[in-house]
């Protein structure tokens, strides 16, 4: 079984923000593969199903981004999933808007949600699907930027990135 978690902020106020791209991918995966992500735990919403003959759990943490690691760790424990069977989907300031990359292991690259996951799992040995959201002109604008919605002219590249991220997850599962 694989656990696929989208990082984000669960508060509806943040639903359309750049920081919630991971949630968009999980919701898209669920819709494409008829996995209903609505089973509630105290700190997550999840759905179970099959993608490419792999049993999967799709999950959305109900904590804020910087505390998502505890939820991810709890989900790994609940479903008996080791970190090497975990896929974390998240936004990335270091990639241009719309670019999607896989990262097999490593550090958090300054992403506080990923940092929280690494801290709570005690390892960085899990797969990440990084979705580029671009970067603001100034470092002072980062918090406002990641918590802001996409502009109308960014929606097409965003949609393409969500589809590309979904395809990368499916490919990983096909090859697993």
CATH number at residue 11: 3.40.50.1470
* Residue 17 token pair: 């923000």
Question: What does the pLDDT read at residue 33?
Answer: 97
Banded model confidence at residue 145, pLDDT cuts 50, 70, 90: very high
> By residue range, what is the domain housing residue 117?
2-175
Count CB neighbours of 104 within 10 A.
Answer: 10
Question: What does the pLDDT read at residue 62?
Answer: 95
SS3 127: strand
Residues paired with residue 54 on neighbouring β-strands, in sequence order = 51
Question: What does the pLDDT read at residue 26?
Answer: 98
Q: Which residue has the tokens 């109900």?
A: 62
Banded model confidence at residue 176, pLDDT cuts 50, 70, 90: confident
User: Average pLDDT over the chain, rounded to whole?
Assistant: 96
Question: Span 37-42, mean pLDDT?
Answer: 95
Question: Span 9-15, mean pLDDT?
Answer: 90
CA 174 to CA 156: how far, in whole Å? Answer: 27
Is the distance from CB of 8 to CB of 14 less than 8 angstroms?
yes
- Using the predicted structure, report yes or no on whether residue 50 has a pLDDT greater than 90: yes
Question: Span 114-135, mean pLDDT?
Answer: 97
Catalytic status, residue 159: no
What domain count does the chain have? Answer: 1
Question: What does the pLDDT read at residue 110?
Answer: 87
Banded model confidence at residue 134, pLDDT cuts 50, 70, 90: very high
* Residue 96 token pair: 């241009």
Q: Is 99 exposed, middle or buried (0-12, 13-18, 19+ CB in 10 A)?
A: middle
Is the distance from CB of 101 to CB of 130 less than 8 angstroms?
yes
Percent of the chain clearing pLDDT 70 (strictly above): 100
Q: Which residue has the tokens 């996995």?
A: 35
Q: Is 108 exposed, middle or buried (0-12, 13-18, 19+ CB in 10 A)?
A: middle
Which one is catalytic: 13, 19, 39, 120? 19
DSSP annotation string for 49-108: EEETTEEEEEEEESS-GGGHHHHHHHHHHHTT--GGGEEEEEEETTS-TT-EEEE-S---
In which element (H, E) is residue 171 found?
Answer: helix 155-175
For residue range 69-123, list pLDDT tens digits in order.
999 999 999 999 999 999 999 999 999 999 999 999 899 888 999 999 999 999 9
């Amino acid at each position: 079984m694989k656990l696929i978690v989208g990082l984000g902020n669960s508060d509806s106020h943040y639903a359309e923000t750049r920081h919630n791209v991971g949630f968009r991918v999980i919701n898209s995966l669920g819709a494409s593969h008829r996995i209903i992500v609505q089973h509630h735990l105290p700190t997550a919403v999840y759905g179970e199903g099959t993608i490419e003959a792999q049993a999967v759990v799709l999950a959305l943490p109900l904590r804020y981004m910087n505390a998502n690691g505890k939820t991810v760790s709890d989900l790994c424990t609940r479903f008996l999933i080791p970190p090497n069977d975990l896929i974390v989907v998240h936004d990335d300031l270091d990639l241009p808007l719309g670019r999607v990359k896989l990262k097999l292991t490593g550090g958090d690259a300054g992403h506080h949600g990923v940092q929280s996951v690494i801290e709570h799992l005690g390892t960085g040995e899990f797969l990440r699907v990084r979705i580029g959201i671009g970067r603001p002109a100034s470092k002072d604008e980062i918090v406002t930027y990641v918590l802001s919605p996409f502009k109308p002219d960014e929606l097409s590249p965003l949609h393409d990135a969500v589809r590309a991220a979904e395809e990368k997850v499916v490919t990983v599962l096909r090859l697993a």
